[in-house]
Amino acid sequence: MVYKTIPKTVIERVPLYINYLKNIDCNKVKTISATIISQELGLGEVLVRKDLNMIAGIGKPKIGYYVSDLREKLRSLISTEKKKTVIIVGIGKIGEALARYKGFGLNGFDIIQLFDSDVGKIGRVINQQKVNDISNLESYCQNHQVDMAVLSVDSEHAQDVCNRLSNCGIKGILNFTNVLLITPNQIIVRNVDIVSQLMILALEINNNK
């Protein structure tokens, strides 16, 4: 298989394309052009063509892209036959909300285990999943393929849990804490702390005057 490195800016646009194509009925609309996509998404036309060429490479001059092929190609970038397995570590307000959310399965993700350290939460069932004691994290990860973790613990424990996740061989962390995690290079961290996002939004608003 060929692994070409996709620039980060392109990667961040892939969900836009995936979500856009999701809303197209490929029985009605067989093909679509970069021109149309760029208009709908408010992106440059050449940008879209370059993106799609780089990540899918299945455009046909005069025709455009076969919707079903393009959709499958984009989907396959995220997960192959198997869905990506995700654990949620820290079943507080946000962690629980995510655990209850049903939308992951449709998008190639499988929440396979929930962890917390609080005895009041361990054993509780959320969305048909029993909350596991975080002291079982290492043994669980030894016996199951875990691709990614959602980190939604208290900030005080964030780095410690992050270290444990690294040692477990997890490849990526979606970090809901406001802690800047120190990790080895082979682990990808994506910071999505809500307060930070609100700050950025507020700054953009002030900047927009």
Please select the residue that binds a copy of itself; options are 96, 114, 116, 151, rule is CB under 8 A.
Answer: 96
Q: Least separation, in Å, of the C-beta of 47 and a copy of itself?
A: 15
Stretch that binds a copy of itself, among 15-23, 25-33, 113-121, 132-140 (CB under 8 A): 15-23
Binders of a copy of itself among residues 173 to 202 (CB under 8 A) are 173-174, 178-180, 186, 188, 190, 192-202
Q: Is 53 in the site for DNA (CB under 7 A)?
A: yes
Window 99-128: residues binding a copy of itself (CB under 8 A): 100-101, 103-104, 107-109
Q: Is 54 in the site for a copy of itself (CB under 8 A)?
A: no
Q: Which is nearer to DNA, 73 or 124 (CB)?
A: 73
Residue 47, interface with DNA (CB under 7 A)? yes
Size of the site for a copy of itself (CB under 8 A): 62
**Considering the complex, what minimum distance in angstroms separates the CB of residue 15 from a copy of itself?**
4
Let me know: does 110 contact 99? Beta carbons within 8 Å. no
Query: Which of a copy of itself, DNA, none is residue 61 near (CB under 5 to 8 Å by kind)?
Result: DNA
How does strand 129-133 pair with strand 109-116?
A: parallel
Q: Site map for DNA, 12-41, x if CB under 7 A?
A: ---------------------xxx------
